[in-house]
Amino acid sequence: MKRAIIIGATSGIGQEVAHLLVQQGWYIGIAGRRENALQNMQQAYPGQIEIQCLDVTKEDAVLHLNELISRLGGMDLFFLSSGVGYQNRNLEPEIELHTARTNVEGFTRMITAAFDYFKKTDGGHIAVISSIAGTKGLGVAPAYSATKRFQNTYIDALAQLSRMQHLNIRFTDIRPGFVATDLLRNGKYPMLMSADKVARHIVRALKRRKRVAVIDRRYRLLVFFWRMIPRWLWERLPIKN
Ligand SMILES: NC(=O)c1ccc[n+]([C@@H]2O[C@H](COP(=O)([O-])OP(=O)(O)OC[C@H]3O[C@@H](n4cnc5c(N)ncnc54)[C@H](OP(=O)(O)O)[C@@H]3O)[C@@H](O)[C@H]2O)c1
């Protein structure tokens, strides 16, 4: 039986991916800060889910991850869906720093731990949900877009490092457009996708071992043209979301 760990499975996209994997016969370990949500998931699928409360911004998160891996009896897929995001037009420092602590410090802590685990074992698959927001800096969400760009570049770097060290580690960087989850609690967003639809795209991309998956087709087109916008023009565009 294949074993996956999902960090950030208490809501949103991570939770939908967790549902799909157990329905497809995976044995999974799920984590997040909200214990009730973890317990509810475990009760819904008796015998198929191990749970672990952890906060990726805390140093003991790696200890908790390793406990979860032991309880699962190993790990084939490490799936990181934990993340926060805010619009912050007033550039409140605490919002920016909280975003960086979760999406950069927490991300790095968990990804390095997973890389280390796969390096010491037969290898495995590391998948992360970053975002299309890393394509260019967004004035309304500076830390969010910058931290997502960090995640894209970090996974590029580890993919190269893994080859240099002849490791059997695969990587998938998942970049969705707008998804209707708690993360987008305020505001109206165009081309909104449902979390279960996005999760189906993700599971398909994982099976196909895609290196980068932009979800969905409309967003692939958008990102293609977005990349071509020159800096002088991008800085003058009043992007609201
Ligand atoms: N929604 C979108 O439009 C969209 C688009 C592109 C990319 N994404 C990315 O998709 C990922 C999942 O977000 P979502 O949209 O599914 O939103 P969500 O429902 O808010 O899910 C976020 C998940 O991250 C976990 N999390 C947050 N801080 C954490 C911490 N310090 N330690 C451990 N877990 C933590 C949350 O669990 P707890 O609160 O229980 O800890 C929750 O399970 C994020 O990385 C987000 O940036 C979202």
CATH at residue 118: 3.40.50.720
- How many structural domains are present in the chain? 1
| 195: in domain | yes
Residue located nearest, by CA, to atom 17 of ligand 1: 183
Mean pLDDT lowest among 16-30, 93-107, 177-191, 219-233? 177-191
Compute the distance from residue 233 Cα to the ligand 1 centre, in Å.
31
| 152: in domain | yes
Q: Tell me, using a 6 A CB cutoff, whether residue 53 lines ligand 1.
A: no
Residues 213-218, mean pLDDT to the nearest whole number: 97
Residues 169-183, mean pLDDT to the nearest whole number: 96
Whether 240 has a pLDDT exceeding 90, the answer reads no
Residue located nearest, by CA, to atom 47 of ligand 1: 83
Two tokens, residue 184: 């987008």
Position 124 confidence tier, pLDDT thresholds 50, 70, 90: very high
| 239: in domain | no
| 156: in domain | yes
Q: Tell me, using a 6 A CB cutoff, whether residue 200 lines ligand 1.
A: no
Contacts of 208 (CB under 8 A, 6+ apart): none
| 29: in domain | yes
Position 190 confidence tier, pLDDT thresholds 50, 70, 90: confident
Continuous H helices in the chain:
12-23, 35-44, 61-72, 93-100, 107-120, 142-164, 195-207, 217-228, 231-234
| 240: in domain | no
Whether 193 has a pLDDT exceeding 90, the answer reads yes
Cα torsion 57, 17, 184, 210: sign: positive
Compute the distance from residue 81 Cα to the ligand 1 centre, in Å.
6
Domain of residue 174, residue span: 3-234
Percentage of the chain exceeding pLDDT 70: 100
Among 181, 197, 202, which residue has the most ligand 1 atoms within 8 Å of its CB, making it the best to mutate? 181
| 191: in domain | yes
The confidence score (pLDDT) of residue 28 equals: 98
| 179: in domain | yes
Q: Using one digit for the tens of pLDDT, what is the confidence trace for 71-123?
A: 999 999 999 999 999 999 999 999 999 999 999 999 999 999 999 999 999 89
The confidence score (pLDDT) of residue 149 equals: 98
Whether 4 has a pLDDT exceeding 80, the answer reads yes
CA distances from 115 to 76, 123, 200 (A): 12, 9, 25
